[in-house]
Amino acid sequence: MAQQQQEVKLMKGNEVIAHAAIRFGCDAYFGYPITPQSEVMETLMELKPWETTGMVVLQAESEISSINMVYGAAATGKRVLTSSSSPGISLMAEGISYIAGAELPCLIVNCQRGGPGLGTIQPSQGDYFQACKGGGHGDYHLIVLAPNSVQEMHDFVKLGLDLAFKYRNPAMILADGAIGQMMEKVVLAPQQPRRTNEEIAAECKEWATYGKPADRKRNVVTSLELQSEAMEQINLRLNAKYRTMEENEVRYEAIECDDADYVLVAFGSSARICSATVEMARAEGLRVGLLRPITLYPFPTRPIAELAKRVKGFLSVELNAGQMVEDVRLAVNGAAPVEHYGRQGGMIYSPDEVLAALKQKLIKA
Amino acid sequence: MAEVEIKPENRVYGKSPLITDNVMHYCPGCSHGTVHKLVAEVIDEMGIAERTIGISPVGCAVFAYNYIDIDWIEAAHGRACAVATAVKRLHPENMVFTYQGDGDLSAIGTAETIHAAARGENIVAIYINNAIYGMTGGQMAPTTLIGMKTATTPYGRDPRLNGYPYKIAEMLTHLDGTAYITRQSVHTPANVRKCKRALRKAFETAMAGKGFSLVEVVSTCNSGWKMSPVAANRWLEENMLPFYPLGDIKCND
Amino acid sequence: MKETLIIAGFGGQGVLSMGKILAYSGVMQGFEVTWMPSYGPEMRGGTANVTVILSDRKISSPIAYEYDTAIILNQQSMDKFEAKVRPGGTLIYDTNGITHHPTRTDIHIYSINATEESAKLGNTKLFNTMILGGYLKVCPVVTMENVKLGLKKSLPERAWKMLPENEKAILHGAEIIHQIR
């Protein structure tokens, strides 16, 4: 019976971000068009959620403006998101740093394309460093989720915002042009109500700036602290928060890793391709597994370190010149060989190319 | 020190209840303190303190949140109007204003200012124009007058090298989204009173949903200008006001 | 059951929407589906292609290295994708504008002249559903009933008045496709 009540649609990854934002009760979306993710705002504008849930949707004059609108909306305790693609995320970097510094919750979707510079509009995973190692200035981390299906694009809108509010920290969905443009079946969540101003006031009373009632002190959202001693305390508090995330929020999927001699490490669209590589390798009698980080930050360091005790090698498969491989190497810490295989410029490997690379770089070596 | 009892009938001046007891960091003679006082008074007199959200800039007024007892958001340099846009869209019943300097509003934040104005956001931008970057130590601003000496125009602003100053207030009048554009000053008591009336009108315009308002306040920066407060007020009158004339520039009623 | 299909041609030929109709038909049939397009400026008048996978199991990679079936609608796509049909697979092409015909002998080859036939019917917009009909005749991966449902699902409501014509075009396509090898 439950099956019949589910709302199953065929949808692009980008379109589903819009549907999920509405259905999970988001209060606002601010964005600026950029390929390959413009369908997010186009879909929102077509769905007109301001007439149903009251969600605000606004096309800003730049990504700089959209992220600062996100900052303003988040400062008042609202559930807010934006989306962009690589060059636009670079423009947002300053604002993201402010959001992290001011400890505001929000969701940023990066539907990556190839770079550097204007680059290409075809898919890439070249923004791993930017997403996971800062991107903007100062010591901070985003919570980074890597969906590998249209369904996860949908689900991670909720997960991302829930984690963002849990830790008062910006979260990012790090997708790519392939996931954004691909259509798959997706089960849409039932419509959930937006939180009322009263609920927000109750939940976010300590920090949100929705207008100062008589019964509390004024709230100030800022990342400024000119006294070094006090600023260091803020940094230490942020660091403690990041350690808690590393302890509690690591998510990953292990496919055929139990008896694996070789383990592919891949996220997002690469992980989909690599899961077919695993099938091909197993058909040939090769014991190959796949570890798919779902959270890129916090990174699944421990499960990789555990595997490193008994496998013959890791191949980090990424649509870039070798970024996540650094985190795999840190996790493996010399216990096993770690190699990287990648394509760039919007080129995508097929499952057989990944298998050939595995054989060439690790199995035959 | 003994408390001095003042009978209500003898009272001629009082600090707005919304001005906090924090010691202001502004230089003696700076216009910011006066404008802060006027903003606090307007909010208090309109009875909207619980509904007002201020957006402070990067610049000398970055700490505005320490002085007026309302909720504040400190924006990145230049982005105050974008921040205010979102807050107002999500809280249309609230009063949302930005408080920005000339570098913030009309150099690095030009795009955010113009587009918020063009969209007709129901917010007020309070624009402190003292023709210089105060906080970073007196560098050239987009509003620095021709010939004026600053840390980055040590021989005076030369249009061939540094371009011309511009008047964003007049530019904004051409946008359909703007409702009220005015230029004021606070260098004499009479001007202070006029400025307060302009602020009140701008706040009422925003609350009435008529569109974007800009209240420019031609201000002094006696530290940056390297003058005594009195000399700075005189210099403002003789040099700033001829180029930045006072009065309402656009008023949609 | 798993069918990995590429549809490739010019932007404007309805390549992506043909893929979408098929993908939605697959959903109606209860299959897992993926629809993976080429996108961007190359869609605007240049070549466009879409990979559609229908499967009764979870689909691992939405990106394929060889295809069970290729539907080829221009010469550039023929040059690119003829070699990517798996041995024993199927290649369907519209002969219009094709100067170098397929040469492989280890695959099934069909041709369909939907360009001309849709022009004869006075509605070149039916081109892609006619091709789809030809494909479904050769590879009946989904039932006609589910194709009708998929067609309806993939069209916006304002275009539903076009449904009967498109259904006829599907049937007509099935009649005019013929095997070359």
| Average pLDDT of every residue of chain C | 93
Q: Residue C78: CB partners within 8 Å, gap ≥ 6? A: C72, C93, C98, C100, C102
* DSSP code string of B95-107: EEEEEEEHHIIII
Which pLDDT score is estimated for C68?
A: 98
Mean per-residue pLDDT, A234-263 = 98
For residue range C108-123, list pLDDT tens digits in order.
999 999 999 999 989 9
Q: Is the pLDDT confidence value at C145 over 90?
A: yes
Q: Label residue C158 exposed, middle or buried (CB < 10 Å: 0-12, 13-18, 19+).
A: exposed
Distance from CA of A219 to the nearest CA of B (A): 5
The contacts of residue B47 (CB under 8 Å, 6+ apart) are none
CA distance B217 to B197: 13
pLDDT exceeds 80 at position B242: yes
Residue C41 has pLDDT above 70, yes or no: no
Residue A1 has pLDDT above 70, yes or no: no
Which residues of chain B are within 8 Å of residue A212 when distances are taken between CB atoms? Answer: 49-50, 69-71
**Cross-chain Cβ contact A350/C64 below 8 Å:** yes
The whole-angstrom separation of Cα A22 and Cα C28 is: 25
Per-residue confidence (pLDDT) for residue A2, from 0 to 100: 46
Listed by number, the residues of chain A in 20-39 with a beta carbon closer than 8 Å to a beta carbon of chain B are 27-28, 30
Look at residues C131, C103, C100 and name the one whose alpha carbon lies nearest to residue C117: C131
What string of DSSP letters covers A305-331?
HHHHTT-SEEEEEESSSSSHHHHHHHH
Mark yes or no for CB contact A350/C65 under 8 Å: yes
A201 touches chain B (CB under 8 A): no
Query: pLDDT of C9-36, one tens digit each?
Result: 988 889 999 999 999 999 999 999 999 9
Percent of chain A predicted with pLDDT > 90:
96
pLDDT digits (tens, 9 = 90+) for A258-297: 999 999 999 999 999 999 999 999 999 999 999 999 999 9
Q: Which helix (H) or strand (E) element contains residue C87?
A: strand C85-94
Please, which chains are in contact with B (at least 3 CB pairs closer than 8 A)? A
Cβ of A76 and B91 within 8 Å?
A: yes
**Strand pairing report for A338-342 and A313-318:** parallel
Residues 104-123 of A with CB under 8 A from C: 121-122
**Per-residue pLDDT for B11 more than 90?**
no
Q: Which residues of A touch C23 (CB under 8 A)?
A: 10, 183
Q: DSSP readout, C20-40?
A: HHHHHHHHHTT-EEEEEE--S
Q: Where are the domains of chain C?
A: 2-179
CB atoms within 10 A of CB C85: 23
* Residue B108 to residue B64: CA distance in whole angstroms: 19
Per-residue pLDDT, averaged over A80-93, amounts to 98
Structural contact between residues B68 and B38, judged by C-beta atoms closer than 8 angstroms: no
Nearest CA among A241, A73, A72 for reference residue A141: A241
Q: What is the mean pLDDT of residues A133-159?
A: 96
* β A288-293/A252-255 pair status: antiparallel
pLDDT, one tens digit per residue, over B14-54 is 899 999 999 999 999 999 999 999 999 999 999 999 999 99
Return the residue of C nearest to A274 by Cα: C61
Under 8 Å between Cβ of A234 and B76: no
**What digits encode the pLDDT tens for the residues A39-73?**
999 999 999 999 999 999 999 999 999 999 999 99
CA-based nearest residue to B117, from B229, B242, B202: B202
Q: What is the pLDDT of residue C44?
A: 55
Of C27, C123, C108, which Cα lies nearest the Cα of C71?
C108
Which of B50, B51, B73 is most worth mutating to test chain A (most A CB atoms within 10 A of its CB)? Answer: B73
Percent of chain C at pLDDT exceeding 70: 96
Beta bridge partners of B248: B182
Asked if CATH classification 3.40.50.920 holds for the domain at A252-363, the reply, yes or no, is yes
User: What integer pLDDT is reported at residue C11 of this predicted model?
Assistant: 81
Q: Domain limits of chain A? A: 2-197, 252-363
Mean pLDDT value of segment B156-161: 98
A173 pLDDT tier (thresholds 50, 70, 90): very high
Could you tell me if A78 lies within 8 Å of chain B, comparing CB atoms? Answer: yes
| Architecture of the domain whose range is A2-197 | 3-Layer(aba) Sandwich (3.40)
Q: Do B73 and A222 touch (CB under 8 A)?
A: yes
CATH 3.40.50.720 assigned to domain B25-251? The reply is no
Rounded Cα–Cα distance for residues C32 and C55 (Å): 5
Q: Which residues of A touch B76 (CB under 8 A)?
A: 68, 71, 94-95, 98
Identity of the residue in B71, B79, B82 whose CB atom sits nearest the CB atom of A218: B71
Q: What is the mean pLDDT of residues A302-322?
A: 98
Assess contact for C92 and C112: CB atoms under 8 A: yes
> Within 10 A of B190 (CB to CB), how many other CB atoms are there?
9
pTM: 0.94
Question: What are the CA-CA distances from residue B81 to residues A229, B11, B56 (Å)?
Answer: 32, 38, 10
**Rounded distance, CA A91 to CA A126, Å?**
16
Q: Given C33, C61, C153, which is nearest A184 (Cβ)? A: C33
Q: Give C-chain residues touching A275 at CB under 8 angstroms.
A: 60-61
Phi, psi torsion values for C53, nearest 5 degrees: -120, 130
Looking at the predicted structure, is the pLDDT value of residue A4 above 60? no
Residue C53 in this model has a pLDDT that exceeds 90: yes
Class of domain C2-179: alpha beta
In eight-state DSSP terms, residue C109 is: E
Dist CA A231 CA A223 (whole Å): 9
List residues in chain B touching A: CB distance below 8 A.
Answer: 49-53, 55-56, 62, 65, 69-76, 79, 82-87, 89-91, 94, 111-112, 115
Cα–Cα distance between B149 and B144 in angstroms, integer? 9
